[in-house]
Amino acid sequence: MSPNDKENSIPDDFHEDQSPWQEEPQGNSPQPISNYHQEGEFYYKEHRGPIILTMGIVSLASLLTCCFFGPCAIISPFLSILTLVLGFGDLRQINEGVMDPDGRPLITTGIIFAGVSAGIFVIGLILVIIFIAMGSLHHHDTFNIKFNF
């Protein structure tokens, strides 16, 4: 056996359905799992775009319809925070190549709605605190006007 024969020999772990030029996948490529759906040759985790979009819309609508008062206004900031956490988590997974990238527009829109809702809530809360503080500083009654006739 010559040295050239050793270089051209087929490895023991080679299977006929493998190509000798095919490289092993590298990095953190998605692994097939039963609840994933297939797109091309990769398996992606299903995105939660419709859920995140719905949560963002509900958080903004509940805040605006209840005008900072009532049970909806109490639910809105918690729903906004939950939507932001889930949305940014899904965007991170999409950027890593684990989650289906088709959900990016829905997720981004849901994050925008939740961010607007959280922003309006924070601004409204600051204004309420300012008005309460201004009212407590104002001790005298301005509407108690006495006319001497």
Start-to-end Cα distance in the chain: 130
Q: Is there a domain that residue 113 lies in?
A: yes
Q: Is there a domain that residue 51 lies in?
A: yes
Q: Is there a domain that residue 117 lies in?
A: yes
For 91-103, how does the pLDDT look when each residue is reduced to its tens digit (9 = 90+)? 999 998 889 899 9
Q: Is there a domain that residue 27 lies in?
A: no
Q: Which residue range forms the structural domain that includes residue 117?
A: 47-136
Q: Is there a domain that residue 70 lies in?
A: yes
For 64-95, how does the pLDDT look when each residue is reduced to its tens digit (9 = 90+)? 887 656 776 788 899 999 999 999 999 999 99
CA atoms of 109 and 87, how far apart (whole Å):
9
For 4-47, how does the pLDDT look when each residue is reduced to its tens digit (9 = 90+)? 555 555 555 555 555 544 444 455 555 444 445 555 555 788 88
What amino acid is encoded at 10 in this protein?
A: I
Residue labelled with tokens 């997974």: 93
What amino acid is encoded at 56 in this protein?
A: G
Number of independent structural domains in the chain: 1
Helix (H, G, I), strand (E, B) or coil at 111: helix
Instruction: Tell me if the pTM is above 0.75.
Output: no
Q: Is there a domain that residue 71 lies in?
A: yes
